Each structure stands twice: as C-alpha cells, then as structure tokens.
A and B are shown apart, each in its own frame.
Chain A
C-alpha cells in the first residue's frame, strides 16, 4: 500500500500518496522528483484520502518506485541504492530524515510540500544544513515537536482497563484520541513496556493489539468499543485525591501539561473540579487551626517497640 501515483504535465507534477502516513511512498517519489530536477514549486502533494474527496482528481498514473530500504537509516545515506545514480547523489543529514519520518505523522496537509522543499534546498544550498534559524527548518522543527509531544502525551495518558478473556487471561484495553496519526508509530513503545501483558489501544484512526508475541494493526474504533471503569480503578482515584496538596492550588500549571482536551479519557480528571473547589477552604482551615496538644502514642527513643499498627 505504499504506492504513490504521479501525474505530470509540463507545469506541475501531482503526487498522490497511498495514505496519510505513506513515508515510503513519499521518499520514493521525492527521490525521483529530485533526481529529475523538478523544483518544489512545480510539485503538488496529495494523499489518497484527499484525492477521494476531490471531484477533479485525475485517474491514477504510473506507479511510483518501490519503497526504499533501510539504507537511508545510515548517516548521510544517499536517497536510494536502486535508483539510477545521479551526477552527485543528494546526501542529507540523518537527523533530517528521522525528523521527516515523524513529521509525516502530523495532520498538517502542507507537510509533504514542506519536506520536499527542504530536501530540494538541502541538495542545492550547501549552507542550509548549518542554519537552524532558516524559516523552513524552523517550521519542520515545530511540526516535529508537535508530533513528539503528542506521542509523549499518548505514552502518558493512555489508561488501560482489564477485561477478562475466555481463556482465563486478561486483555488490557485503552481508548485514546491522539492529535496526529501516531497510533501505529507509538505501539512499539507499549510493546516494550508491557511485553508480558496482552493489550489493545483503540483510537478514532486505527487500533493496535499486542497478543504477547506480536503487534497487530486494526481498524479505526469508537469509544463505545472500550470497557467502562472497573472496581480496581477506584484505588487510583483514591491515590490521586490524596497526593494532591490543597495548599498549593495551581490549575494553570496543571492545564499546561495536561490540556483539557485529554480529560474526557482520564479517569482521574472527574475529581479535578471538586478538589479545586474545596482546596481554598481546606487550606484556610489548616492555617487557622490552632496548634494541637500532642498525644505521644509511641515511646520515645529508638529500640523500643513501636505501637501496634492499625489493621
């Protein structure tokens, strides 16, 4: 499914990628266009989804070249070993490639045009790789940062709920709504962390399932496909309620790191309103309460037996 179709006229080349995150298709098409000397202003990028929604879209043209292999992961890899060798193979910094591979996951429709423009410029402007203040590079960096942050927040805010399975095992299921197309790219993290668990993460774009051995890609899901709270979740809510210090209410700080759009899928977020409303009164009570008369219930000095713990 990584085939890009390319239709060319003299004025403009239109590339239609197989799907929203078609990294292999983008790389193959970009390499061909670059070696064909096609400047970025003469290239238009679409994905299959865009084309389906475009009444004027052309029929399919030639299939693009096959997906490139992992050679590009090597530092300064040239764009492909199996393409006809150009006069001087374009070499790009490895960091740029890694960044592009993430930016493909961003929902910004202009991402492919930006990446091709940067690739073209890297090949034609020797100074660009040393200039982190270039506006195109900064733009790529901002998109990259947004994807990284989204991936990080997914790792933080996915909440699994256990569901018994017919074979007596347990499947842990989470419902999550990412900002970008990150579900599949983020799945290996969860596989490394929860290797001896069976789990599934359901999102509006795609789902991933780990059976204890390997990852399976699945279709888009709905919130109703995920399980409701179980009894064990109450302990987590108890912890959240009691680790909060009412003398230090800082809701802006909390929202900055845990934006409200994530709250609807975080079990503990239902407590925030009540905790915030009662914080001031609890804090004032602590400040105004007179110091109490101590009742020492444990004999002083080490070596003595401690009071019997409450059971």
Chain B
C-alpha cells in the first residue's frame, strides 16, 4: 500500500482523539544539536480543520488493526473499516517532513493493539526513540500508552515523550464494561497512578538538582548526571460524551477525581461522533457538541475559578448542565443571594464567580483597586461582555437594580444556545496563559 493511502487511513483512524495540546514541555531548541525542533512554553496550532479543531501535532495511529472490540471505536476488531500499518521509519519520516515544512509541532502517536499490548507499546516507543536518538528531534512528542503494557515500557515511553496519555474512555466503570469489554478500568487507573508517580519523581529530582547547583561537589567527582526526564508535559486523558447514559454530574465528578487523584494536566471530552460502519448498540445521532462545550466550560470552572464539581450541576436539573447558557451564568442566576458583587470591595474568589469576568480581568481589577475606584467606564476598557457582567456587579456609579430578581434574569439571558467549542478548549472563560487561545 502506498504511503499516501496509509496516511489517509491512519489519520482518519486517529481523529476521534480530541487532544492536540503541545504545551507544557520544558523549553528547548535545536541550537547546538544535530537536528531540528524546539518547544517554547505554549504550543502552536499550525492549522485548523473545518471542524474548528486545531492541528498542532501529526496525530496518527501506527496501525488501525486492533484485537479489541470497543463498540464506540472505528477501529474495533468487528468493524469493516479498511486497515493499514505504518513502519516505524515511515512515521519518523512523515514527522520530520511535516516538521520541516512548519506544518506541525511534533507527533501524537497512538495505535490499535496488535499481537499483544507489549508488542504494540514497543513499536510506539521505538518511533519516539528513533526520532530522539537517531535524529536528535527536539519537537513535541505525545504518546498514547497502553494500560496493559509492562511498567518498563511505560518508563521508556516517559523518557522520550513530553506527554503521555491513557484514555479512561467512559465516565463510569459500568459504561466501560458494557462498551469496551476487553478494557480494564482498574488497570487504566493503576497505570495513571504509576505515571503520576514517575512524573512527580522526575519533577522532584529536577528541583533538587536545581537546588543543589550551588553545592560544591566532592573532590574528584565528575559532573552531576542530568535529572531523569519523564513526560515533563504531564499526562492527560479523554472521556467520550454521549455514548453511554452517564450524566454531566457523573462526568464532572469523574474528572475531579482524575485531576485530584492523578494530577492530570487535562481531561478531554469528546462528543460521541457517528463513525462509518457503526455498531447497532450505540446512538447514531449527530454528536452532542453543545453538551461537550458546556463540559469544557465546567472543567475550566473547576480548574481556574474555584468551583467544586458538585456546585456546577444542580441536583434538581436531572444532573445535566444547561445547554442554553454557560455554567457560570447558570450558577449566578441560581444564586441571586450572592449578588451583586461589589467590584471595589469583593474578594478575588467572589470576583471570579461573576459571569463574564475572566481570570485576567479579575487580576487587573484587583491591581487597579489600589489606586482607583472602579467605575462603569473601566469595564468597557477591559473589553468584558457588559451585558453579561452588569446585572451582577456594583461599581461607584452602577447598581444592577431590579434585574437581579431571578425571574427577570432568567428571561434576560434566555437566548438560543450558540455553541463555539474549540478542540480541547472552550472559547470562554479563558485560563491564564492558555496556549490555545492563540494556537
């Protein structure tokens, strides 16, 4: 099979994985090296597909042959999809060629399981090894790890990769058992825990080494060995939304547990998308895009705005986020007793709960409060969405008045839902230093 045909099949097979982040790696470049590549903090989105998702990494499968029969997956063993397999060298060459053209930040490599988890993982790791060791490639590498592969292979994957990920796939163990019979939820979490340990250890020794830089080494001792490197970009995971019956409350509780328990950098949500040659057991409908977008917004609230996951989805809504408005606005309308927030006196955690105020705006408001009394006109200067903000805040010369009666608010903000999700990042609210805002 010619390379172009393989690429078509194995890119198509990889597109259901939402992750495209190329951030979080330690800064490095190819000055003084033998090859090419650099990472400088935030990643770069080199292109955007018409689905609105950013293209920052060459995201492909090594092969879409697979022993597993996960019902939601286009590559499951029982699917009639056309199959292909890259050689290690083909993936290496494609990565370097696209990188030289400045089309990508690096490689995101995943694979169907062939022969055995270890056999497959070994091939994936070999691609990364050849890139790093034979070509001195210093761009970004994200490897999808296979939970059942041996710890030693995981360790090697972490040495070459900037980021590792294992998909939990479904929000509940029951869902996983029903739709992905060969996958073991407990094994997935064990692998995550092990990776979290490695990542933390590597960070710790790096810190200690930096701290010890001033210490005079023993006479006769050689130069200190470099601190071990293990996935400096951390680990991420993905949950499929809408393939099983789990509600938003359950999904967010699972995310909170993953963030807390395994210190994940990102949980990605992927609206279950119809696939060619789909299983009869699954909903064949347009993907629930608005719901996916609301989940990303809720995820942001948990990570950057101080919301606890159980606050975000009110129990009386059947455990689902509102599709008509963003979760922060929904929370504010449900809690009129907490408003208006006085922009001149309220603490940071309350400013963060004002609909329409992002982290950056809040920090600027706090700084300027030391030298000025915040007025209505200052909000225009901040370019925040006034219609959203004004009903909830007080300034020197503004009071929201009767609009805060909850009945009115609900009507005031009742607009048809217009989702604008990004691949892996909501349009709002924006976190601090959020690479995907520019790319």
Check B431 for interface membership: any CB of A closer than 8 A: no
Q: B274 is contacted by which of A279, A283, A295, A303 (Cβ under 8 Å)?
A: A283
Check A9 for interface membership: any CB of B closer than 8 A: no
Check B36 for interface membership: any CB of A closer than 8 A: yes
Smallest beta-carbon distance B49→chain A, Å: 4
Chain A CB count within 10 A is highest, among B33, B101, B285, B381, for B101
- The reply to whether B101 and A233 contact each other, CB–CB distance below 8 Å, is yes
User: Complex formed: what's the CA distance from A75 to B271 in Å?
Assistant: 48
Stretch binding the partner chain, chosen from A14-22, A33-41, A93-101, A251-259: A251-259
Smallest beta-carbon distance B346→chain A, Å: 16
Which residues from chain B contact A124 at a C-beta distance below 8 Å?
Answer: none
Known: A156-B45, A195-B30, A296-B77. A306 touches B4 (CB 8 A): no
- The reply to whether B67 and A300 contact each other, CB–CB distance below 8 Å, is yes
Smallest beta-carbon distance B279→chain A, Å: 6
User: Complex formed: what's the CA distance from A309 to B38 in Å?
Assistant: 34
Chain B CB count within 10 A is highest, among A138, A236, A301, for A236
Smallest beta-carbon distance A251→chain B, Å: 6
Known: A130-B371, A239-B58, A309-B84. A275 touches B50 (CB 8 A): yes
Q: A310 is contacted by which of B40, B66, B85 (Cβ under 8 Å)?
A: B85
Check B253 for interface membership: any CB of A closer than 8 A: no
Check A232 for interface membership: any CB of B closer than 8 A: yes
Check B372 for interface membership: any CB of A closer than 8 A: yes
Smallest beta-carbon distance A230→chain B, Å: 10
How would residues 55 to 85 of chain B score, 1 for a CB under 8 Å from any chain A CB and 0 otherwise?
A: 1001110010111010000000111101111
Check B439 for interface membership: any CB of A closer than 8 A: yes
Smallest beta-carbon distance B26→chain A, Å: 14
Residues facing B in A258-297 (CB within 8 A) are: 258, 266, 268, 272, 275-276, 279, 283, 286-292, 294-297
User: Complex formed: what's the CA distance from A174 to B38 in Å?
Assistant: 19
Known: A135-B381, A294-B80. A248 touches B368 (CB 8 A): no
Which residues from chain B contact A53 at a C-beta distance below 8 Å?
Answer: none
User: Complex formed: what's the CA distance from A161 to B83 in Å?
Assistant: 31
Q: A245 is contacted by which of B8, B31, B51 (Cβ under 8 Å)?
A: B51
Which residues from chain B contact A241 at a C-beta distance below 8 Å?
Answer: 8
Smallest beta-carbon distance B136→chain A, Å: 8
- The reply to whether A152 and B36 contact each other, CB–CB distance below 8 Å, is no
- The reply to whether A292 and B115 contact each other, CB–CB distance below 8 Å, is no
- The reply to whether A131 and B115 contact each other, CB–CB distance below 8 Å, is no
Count B-side interface residues using an 8 Å CB cutoff: 94
Q: B40 is contacted by which of A127, A132, A149, A189 (Cβ under 8 Å)?
A: A189
Check B224 for interface membership: any CB of A closer than 8 A: no
Known: A192-B38, A253-B422, A283-B286. A155 touches B44 (CB 8 A): yes
Which residues from chain B contact A272 at a C-beta distance below 8 Å?
Answer: 50
Residues facing B in A143-162 (CB within 8 A) are: 148-149, 152-153, 155-162
User: Which residue of chain B lies nearest to A294 when distances are taken between CB atoms in the complex?
Assistant: B78
- The reply to whether B277 and A276 contact each other, CB–CB distance below 8 Å, is no
Known: A131-B372, A194-B100, A298-B67. A248 touches B45 (CB 8 A): no
Known: A235-B94, A248-B289. A133 touches B381 (CB 8 A): yes
Chain B CB count within 10 A is highest, among A158, A161, A174, A195, for A195
User: Complex formed: what's the CA distance from A304 to B98 in Å?
Assistant: 36
Check B273 for interface membership: any CB of A closer than 8 A: yes
Check B223 for interface membership: any CB of A closer than 8 A: no
- The reply to whether B276 and A306 contact each other, CB–CB distance below 8 Å, is no
Residues facing A in B388-439 (CB within 8 A) are: 420-422, 427, 438-439
- The reply to whether A133 and B36 contact each other, CB–CB distance below 8 Å, is no
Check A249 for interface membership: any CB of B closer than 8 A: yes
Known: A161-B101, A289-B278. A235 touches B45 (CB 8 A): no
User: Which residue of chain A lies nearest to B382 when distances are taken between CB atoms in the complex?
Assistant: A133
User: Which residue of chain A lies nearest to B283 when distances are taken between CB atoms in the complex?
Assistant: A287
Known: A152-B44, A248-B287. A160 touches B50 (CB 8 A): no
Which residues from chain A contact B82 at a C-beta distance below 8 Å?
Answer: 310
Chain B CB count within 10 A is highest, among A258, A275, A301, for A258
User: Complex formed: what's the CA distance from A117 to B12 in Å?
Assistant: 55
Which residues from chain B contact A52 at a C-beta distance below 8 Å?
Answer: none
Which residues from chain A contact B29 at a C-beta distance below 8 Å?
Answer: 192-193, 195
Check A55 for interface membership: any CB of B closer than 8 A: no
User: Which residue of chain B lies nearest to A309 when distances are taken between CB atoms in the complex?
Assistant: B85
User: Which residue of chain A lies nearest to B420 when distances are taken between CB atoms in the complex?
Assistant: A253
Check A113 for interface membership: any CB of B closer than 8 A: no
Which residues from chain A contact B273 at a C-beta distance below 8 Å?
Answer: 245, 247-248
Known: A193-B29, A248-B287. A300 touches B77 (CB 8 A): yes
- The reply to whether A309 and B50 contact each other, CB–CB distance below 8 Å, is no
User: Which residue of chain A lies nearest to B49 when distances are taken between CB atoms in the complex?
Assistant: A244
- The reply to whether B52 and A253 contact each other, CB–CB distance below 8 Å, is yes
User: Complex formed: what's the CA distance from A135 to B116 in Å?
Assistant: 63
User: Complex formed: what's the CA distance from A172 to B97 in Å?
Assistant: 11
Check A234 for interface membership: any CB of B closer than 8 A: yes
Check B14 for interface membership: any CB of A closer than 8 A: yes
Check B316 for interface membership: any CB of A closer than 8 A: no
Known: A156-B44, A302-B67. A291 touches B279 (CB 8 A): yes
Check B37 for interface membership: any CB of A closer than 8 A: yes
Smallest beta-carbon distance A291→chain B, Å: 3
User: Complex formed: what's the CA distance from A283 to B273 in Å?
Assistant: 9
Check A1 for interface membership: any CB of B closer than 8 A: no
Check A243 for interface membership: any CB of B closer than 8 A: yes
User: Which residue of chain B lies nearest to A125 when distances are taken between CB atoms in the complex?
Assistant: B371
- The reply to whether B30 and A303 contact each other, CB–CB distance below 8 Å, is no
- The reply to whether B378 and A133 contact each other, CB–CB distance below 8 Å, is yes
- The reply to whether B77 and A247 contact each other, CB–CB distance below 8 Å, is no
Residues facing B in A107-141 (CB within 8 A) are: 127, 130-135, 138
Check A196 for interface membership: any CB of B closer than 8 A: yes
A-B complex: 3 closest residue pairs judged by Cβ atoms? A253-B52, A250-B52, A294-B78
Can you give 10 contacting A-B residue pairs, CB < 8 Å? Answer: A127-B371, A162-B100, A232-B97, A238-B7, A239-B7, A248-B51, A252-B52, A256-B420, A309-B83, A310-B84
8 further interface pairs, Cβ-Cβ under 8 Å (given A240-B49, A253-B421) = A130-B367, A192-B40, A242-B9, A258-B48, A290-B280, A296-B77, A300-B69, A310-B1
